[in-house]
Amino acid sequence: MEFLSTSEVDIQKAAAALASGLLVAFPTETVYGLGADAFNVTALARVFQAKNRPRFDPLIIHIAEYAALSRIADIDSLNGESAERLSILSKHLWPGPLTLILPKRPALPDLATSGLPTAAVRFPSHPVAQKLIRYSTGAVAAPSANPFGYLSPTQAEHVKAQLGSRVDVIIDGGRATVGVESTVLDLSSGGRPRLLRPGGTPRERIEELIGAVEFSCGTSAGAAGAQETPVSPGQLKSHYAPRTPLVLCRRGELASLPDISGEGRLYFAPPAGKSQVLGGTTRVLSVNGDTTEAAANLFQMLHELDALELTRIRAEEAPTSGLGAAINDRLQRAEYACGNTCENAYENTRLP
């Protein structure tokens, strides 16, 4: 494993490694991605192996210019409404934390799409990600750079700690600014667009541009409404989980619970009457109750609490507006990952 900086020379070095079939972890505005040449089947297989990711869970293909989309997606097969929505969304929300599900080109390996007739495509806004993609192959498959099902990395050190030598190169680009994965929107069916995963682009912003979308990611119904046979990344019920069992509490409920030794707390905002709650085994996602700030802190603070070897983490729901939907989605899936074992010993839930 080689650590590289964000200098021009190092990005070019990482791009050469990626083009040769190696795995490169790199920063995006959402979380760190584990990159492989999207058209190199051997490299794609290494991604699944490194993450211990099931082959039925498709990857997101990252591009760095709109012209590259035609290599991956069959845009001509979209009906008029879907093509217009693609044009509007790509104009206003790309580059950015939005992944679009589109009909795939036959040349894109089935391994990248888990055999589905569609491809998940994103144009990240992070300048390092854009340079890496342009300097390498122009199309990089990149799920989050962590073991499958566990906390996503928002810093290079998270990648090193979780994947280690399974990654060939890590570009250290500092902390991710958005902090949660991209929103996933399906434009492939020809009907009303479907929101498959809430993420860094709020649903409200999408609907401002193209009108109402269906909500198919199960957040409002909890993780039990998620998919066990995903049609896009990030749809499995059990996902985004710390090693420590996590229990999700309704807004306002957490502050009323008695303190328990060995238990951590994750508040959305400072609870009333408790101005000094930050530090120790307690974290506050946003001092001002802002969902954008909270999303940027979510995985970082979960990583911090997870490192304390607590018996349990109690987390507070966020408001459902803005990026609150993405925060609650990640917390619900983390809770679901515990199943009926949340009350069991911590040692039973740790990674091997």
Whole-angstrom distance, CA of residue 300 vs CA of residue 247 = 18
Tell whether the model's pLDDT for residue 339 goes beyond 90. Answer: no
Condensed to tens digits (0 to 9), the pLDDT of residues 315-333 reads 999 999 999 999 999 999 9
The whole-model pTM stands at 0.90
SS3 track for 158-192 = HHHHHHHHHCCEEECCCCCCCCCCCEEEECCCCCC
Residue whose entry in the numeric block shows the structure tokens 């899936």: 333
- Average pLDDT, integer, range 138-159: 96
Parallel, antiparallel, or unpaired: how do β-strands 118-122 and 24-26 relate? unpaired
What is the mean pLDDT of the segment spanning 21-46? 98
Minimal CA–CA distance to 198: which of 295, 327, 84, 83? 327
Residue 149 CA to residue 176 CA, distance in Å, equals: 19
CA distance linking residue 164 with residue 313, whole number of Å? 26
Tokens for 291?
Answer: 């969902």
Contact yes or no for 104/119 (Cβ under 8 A): yes
Average of per-residue pLDDT across 41-55: 96
Q: Hey, which residues does 120 pair with through a beta bridge? A: 60, 101
Confidence of residue 99 (pLDDT cuts 50, 70, 90): very high
Neighbours of 309 (CB within 10 A): 13
Task: Tell me what pLDDT residue 221 has.
Answer: 37
Query: Contact, 216 vs 308, CB < 8 A?
Result: no
For residue 159, pLDDT beyond 70: yes
pLDDT of residue 272: 77
Residue 228 in this model has a pLDDT that exceeds 80: no
Q: Are strands 246-249 and 312-316 parallel, antiparallel or unpaired?
A: parallel
Q: What is the mean pLDDT of the chain?
A: 90
Render pLDDT for 167-186 as a digit per residue (tens, 0 to 9). Answer: 999 999 999 999 999 999 99
pLDDT exceeds cutoff 80 at 232: no
